[in-house]
Structures are given as structure tokens and as C-alpha cells.
Chains A and B, each alone.
Chain A
């Protein structure tokens, strides 16, 4: 269904959720990701009856002071997504000011082997102390899940052709790590703190 609308970033209907200290599971997607095209000032009506929308961060910068946008945001209906080339540190004041409004943010993978959004997620967790959901969107494949989960993503909008059963099995491939991540310290420090 979502593939058909050219104004949405195509993905699976189901979202893979993997909360910190939780277990991975699937749930229907209640957020539409607006690609940002057909920008006629306000939010376009993307899917009938669906109100929650992730907007491009670049669009948010331009429109965040508009009353109707603010109203919808305050109702918990707007999140932002960061493009791979968005310099989130350059906009740190704006992010700090507005982050309370967003129930969720996302970071986009234009191509599965473009790792910039790994650093975006890491910075959101470290620098902005973002503790709500960060969703991976775009060219999100099974073999990026482990890395994504460790840098700070806790939900994944996989590309529509990815097998979700295989995806769900990725997270218990490793029982040890040799560097810290958002999910926990390296195994050695864990072992010594017990």
C-alpha cells in the first residue's frame, strides 16, 4: 500500500521495533514518512485517515513556526526525519528547542551502504540525550539491523522486499561486543562490573 504513493518513502507495512532492553517485535506502522515533495506550504494529505507524519527536517526548519503545523505537532502528530546529509550539529539549537514536540524522529538511508545515519543516531542519543524512538528509514536491509540497533535506532522501517522473519532473528546473532554502544558497554566491562 505505501509503495504506491510516490510522496511517501516506500517501506514495509510493519515496523520492526527493538526497544532498548526489550525484545524485537513487529507492529503495524502508524507513521507515514513524507518524502517532502509536493511541498505546497502545508502538509499534504498523504493517506486518507492517517494523521501521524514524519516530515523532512529541512521542511520542519522552514515551517515549524506556522500555527497549524505547531498545533498538529502539539497533538503528537508530527515527527521529523533527518536526511543523510543533514548536519544535525549545525542545527543543534533548533533541535534542542523543538525536540519535546516530536514523539519520534527518523534517520534516512539513501543507500544501504551509506553509513552517515549511523553517526546521526549516535549523536542524537549521545549529544541530544534523545530517549524517544529513532526509526531507520529508506534503504534499510536485514544486514544493517545489528549495527543500527547498536548505534541508537530502536525501530526499523525495512525496505518492502525484506523478509521480516529473517530480520527478527538478527538481534541475537552476537552475545558479545568489543566496544560500547547505546545498548550497553562492551562485554569486558559488563563482566567486570558484576
Chain B
């Protein structure tokens, strides 16, 4: 396996964190710690109080998971929850039905497999996310994992930044394509090699979604990796001191960067950094070596690359006609190029059509996936931003065997990147922040677009659903975004179009007044029909949208809209209540 393994320091720290939390829970239960004061403490350990029960969010740092860790996650789902877990857009897993009294035991079980829930919520530096294809992607400049791990450790229980004005999210990328939604993070760290071959970072700050979606701005170029701790300390110190604390919705760093302007913000960070840039906060080569030695290449065999065409031909005799089509599509949609000849990365789709919530996996599936990882991919897995799982290092010649095995668990639907590979937050079915449900909308859309031939013809389209303006479903960057809003106690849905992630990241535009839940499948159908009717050859949905503008899509969306008596402003609602 090529994953970071805890040493005595890391293990001691998570064990001591469990003891600390056990004591905090005990004080909550005996009444000496009131809920109002326990709340930020439990949030900093990933524990939310939801609509029906407590929800525990467990970190999967930068998306890397071993098969044994996944088995523990599966066991927790059975022992303490209702037999499933929900993988999130930020490389966490959530359990929706845990008991407060049991959370210290869950954390102790996690600690045994080098996992934790530290800083998965709260106004602190959150779980650091990265490219799910780190270390294997064909378009990678720099393997981001050592920097991810160094910064995970640096940010863990950082005392000065334990009570920031608001949550603070890092994403780290090292590839040509951005698979991390880098520009929608409080800090985005873009790793590259300098002309001299040194590892350096470009720093973007002030991105975020939520009520005021803003893309991050470049504030620092070519920062040597060793200096990340001092530079980030300076950046966070400026934010901690001057970020707004008077209004929850204006407290993210994006508001500070916008108010000051990126140049002035960068100047203040530089001013602070000048005093600490040379200090011993910075990383040493020995620290790099300690971490980087774990991210070596696994024991790849010396193989030759096989083209998709050759694979299809090679396996044709073992497949019947229907299987041949299904396998070929799976190869095209769910299998990705690898750095090493003869290997591929496989995305296991957690997006069955309407039969489970996006990103959900049952105990049985998790155990089966852990076995697949052991058998086909060096015992390792990754979690993607799109809430799917990846087997990163599969021999191409084993793809058919893997496909057959994964099919038994309903994990091979060839819809990666297609309309039904949608992102959705748990929404109003679980979350007490939500204004509206997300999961029934996701299910209705998946059921409406259940024809794989048609989906395949539509090509790449991202559809993201958030149950409220907190934007956990990342609707702002979906080509099609669906946002749940509350009007006079009723659930309505606002549509945005033209959002995108990656280096072409764009925030979608609201098309107009919102819709009833039961209108959404028709609205999406009308929007899609407009695309099909007006697209040029090989033009993706978002490319067509950019060329045509919003008008034809908007007209189509409101074609059958119900007459509404209420006057409304489509852009001003959200989680303010």
C-alpha cells in the first residue's frame, strides 16, 4: 500500500483526542457542560445534531482509504448506525443515526485504524481535500499527497486557529486538470515544479460557495513548499484577526478578501509573513522524507498498455451482446488512464438510478469494495468529489473480472460524468439546516433519465443539488444546479445554469423564479431537450450553454411552469431563517 501510516506521535495524538472527547461528552451528559458550549466542541469532532439524531462526519484525509479502514467504516455502519454510510463531496463519510453516548467508542474504533473525525466541522481548518487520482493521474505534475499529509498534521489541533470566524477549507491539486474544485475553497494550493525543478505552490484565497459564491484569487506565486506553514499562519492570522464575526453569512474569508481586494489582502499577509517566514514553523527536509516515503509507487508489474479497443476485442468472446455494450460503456465512462502502462483507475459508481441516495454505500457494499481493493488495487481506495469510490491501480487485463465482481454489488452503472452521476447533500430528510429535501429530487431525476443510451448520447453534464444555501451539494458549480429554498414553509427549488468546476470554474446563474418539487423532472427534461435540439456536433452541455446564453434554456424551463400566486424574489432566499 502507498498510504501514509501513523507513527507513535500520530497514534498518540488521535488516542488522546478520543480521551479528551470522551471527557467532554461525559461532562455534557452529567450536565456540567451546557449544550451551547458543547456544540462547538462536538462540531470540531464532526458531530452534528440533525433532524432525527446525531450525525458523525469522519475524515478521509485527501480521499485516501485502505481496505481495512473501509471494513472498519462498514463495521461502524452496522454496529452504531443503520447499515450504511454517506460519502460526501469533501472526502468524508457521514453516519446519520448515531447516539451521543456511543460517539467516543466510535472514535476509539476509528483510532485503531488510524482514522478520526478531527476538524470535520466547526470554525477551524477542515479536512484537507485533494485529487482522488493523486499519484496515478496521467495529467499529474506533482503528487500532492506528501504536502496534503504535512498540512494535515500541521493543521491538526492548531491552537491559534481553533476558533476562526468561520469554517476554513483547503484543497490541494497537482494536476493539469483540477478535480478538487480548488477555486471554491477558502485556500486553494496549486502545486507545481519551478523552472529549477523545485516544488512550489501557487496560493488562491477567498473562494467559497454558500450564500455568496466567489472564486478564489491568486495571491501568491511560487511559494517554496517548505514555507507553507509560515505563509499559511500569516494568512490565517490576518483572517482570524480581521474576518467578520458580527454576521454568520459574512464571516468566511471570501468576504474579507472581497472587502479588502485580493491585492490588499495579499499585502497584509506578506506584511505578517515577513516576521515569521524564516522561523522554525517551516517544514524540514526530514519531515518531508518521513511522510513522502509512504507515497512511493506500489509494486507495479512490467506490462504493456492496452487500448480500449483492444480490451473490448480481447474480452468479446467472454461476453454476450448486452454485456459487450455495457462493458464497453463502462470502459469509456468509468475507467481512467493511468501513469503506468498496463494499469487503469476504475471509478465505482455510487449513483444507482433512484435506488439509493447519491454517495451512499451499505455495509455489504463497503465490505465487498474492500475485498475488491485487496484483490485488484493494492488494498487501497479513494473518495472522489463526486461522491464515488476509486480503485486507482487496476491491471487492465483484470478489468473484466473486476467488472463482473463489482456488478454484483450494483457498482458498475456506466454513468460517471453523466447526468445521473449527480451530487446531492443529504438535504431535509436528515439535515436540520436544510430548507428542502435533496434526495427525492435526485431520485426523481435519476428515474426520469434512466435510459443509459440517452444519457450516453447527452455526454458530460454535471447536476448538483443542495438542500439549502450552505451549498453542501455544490450546486453553484453544477452545469445544472438545483437549490432547495423555503417559502412560507413550502419547499421550492431554484435552478442555476452554466456552473462548472476545474480551471474553467464558473458560478451558475439563477434562471428565474423557483419551482415546486414535482416540476423539477419536467424542467430538467425541457432544459436537456433544448440542448439536444440546438447543440453542435461534439458540443457538451456547458459549451452549448456558453454559446447560446441562458435565454433558450430559460424559456424551455418555464414552458409548463405552474402559475404561482405568490410573488417572489428568486435570488434572495436561503438559510437565513
Give me the interface of A with B, judged by CB distance under 8 Å.
87, 112-116, 118-120, 122-123, 126-127, 141, 143-144, 146-148, 150-151, 163, 166, 173-181, 185, 187-189, 191-192
Contacts and interface: CB of A to CB of B under 8 A. Distances in A.
Contacts of B525: none
A178 B162 contact: no
Interface-central residue, B9, B37, B229, B241, by most chain A CB under 10 Å? B241
Contacts of A126: 275-276
Closest 6 CB pairs of A and B: A115-B163, A150-B159, A147-B159, A178-B153, A147-B162, A118-B160
Contacts of A187: 9
Contact of B241 (A116, A143, A178): A116
Interface string B162-183: 1110000000000000000000
- Most A CB contacts (10 A, CB to CB) among B20, B154, B163, B286 go to B163
A42 B229 CA distance: 45
Interface string B275-293: 1100111001011001000
Contacts of A188: 9, 287, 290
B163 A178 contact: no
30 contacts: A112-B40, A113-B40, A115-B123, A115-B164, A118-B160, A118-B161, A119-B240, A119-B241, A126-B275, A126-B276, A144-B163, A147-B163, A148-B159, A150-B159, A151-B159, A151-B160, A173-B19, A178-B13, A178-B153, A178-B154, A178-B157, A179-B156, A179-B229, A180-B279, A181-B159, A188-B9, A188-B290, A189-B280, A191-B9, A192-B286
Given A115-B240, A163-B32, A166-B27, A176 B9 contact: yes
Nearest to B287: A188
A185 B158 contact: no
A113 B166 CA distance: 10
A119 B159 CA distance: 10
B157 A112 contact: no
B9 A180 contact: no
A177 B276 CA distance: 20
Contacts of B219: none
B280 A180 contact: yes
Contacts of A122: 160, 237
Nearest to A191: B9
B9 A178 contact: yes
Nearest to A175: B12
B123 A113 contact: yes
A115 B161 contact: yes
B365 interface: no
Contacts of A151: 159-160
B24 interface: yes
B505 interface: no
Nearest to A173: B20
A158 to B, nearest CB: 13
Contact of B160 (A115, A166, A178, A191): A115
Nearest to B153: A178
Interface in B261-309: 275-276, 279-281, 284, 286-287, 290
Nearest to B156: A178
B41 interface: yes
Interface in B11-50: 12-13, 16, 19-20, 23-24, 27, 32-33, 37, 40-41
B51 interface: no
B162 A185 contact: no
A91 B136 CA distance: 52
B280 A116 contact: no
A115 B153 CA distance: 21
Interface in B139-166: 153-164
A161 B385 CA distance: 44
Contacts of A177: 13, 157
Contact of B281 (A123, A148, A179): A179
Interface in B434-476: none
Contacts of B157: 174, 177-178
A175 B16 contact: yes
A183 B499 CA distance: 47
B41 A143 contact: yes
B407 to A, nearest CB: 43
A79 to B, nearest CB: 22
B186 to A, nearest CB: 15
B280 A185 contact: yes
Contact of B163 (A118, A120, A163, A176): A118
Contacts of B10: 178
Given A112-B37, A113-B163, A166-B27, A119 B237 contact: yes
Contacts of A118: 159-163, 240
Contacts of A114: 163, 245
B387 to A, nearest CB: 29
Nearest to A139: B37
A176 B12 CA distance: 7
A144 B37 CA distance: 11
A176 to B, nearest CB: 5
A126 B154 CA distance: 19
Contacts of B19: 173
A49 B266 CA distance: 51
Contacts of B237: 119, 122-123
B235 to A, nearest CB: 12
A143 to B, nearest CB: 6
A62 B13 CA distance: 47
Contacts of A119: 160, 237, 240-241
Contacts of B276: 126
Given A112-B163, A175-B12, 15 more contacts: A113-B163, A118-B161, A122-B160, A122-B237, A126-B276, A147-B159, A147-B162, A150-B159, A173-B23, A174-B157, A176-B16, A178-B13, A179-B155, A187-B9, A191-B9
A129 to B, nearest CB: 12
B61 to A, nearest CB: 13
Nearest to B17: A174
A86 B514 CA distance: 45
Interface in B354-393: none
Contacts of B154: 178-179
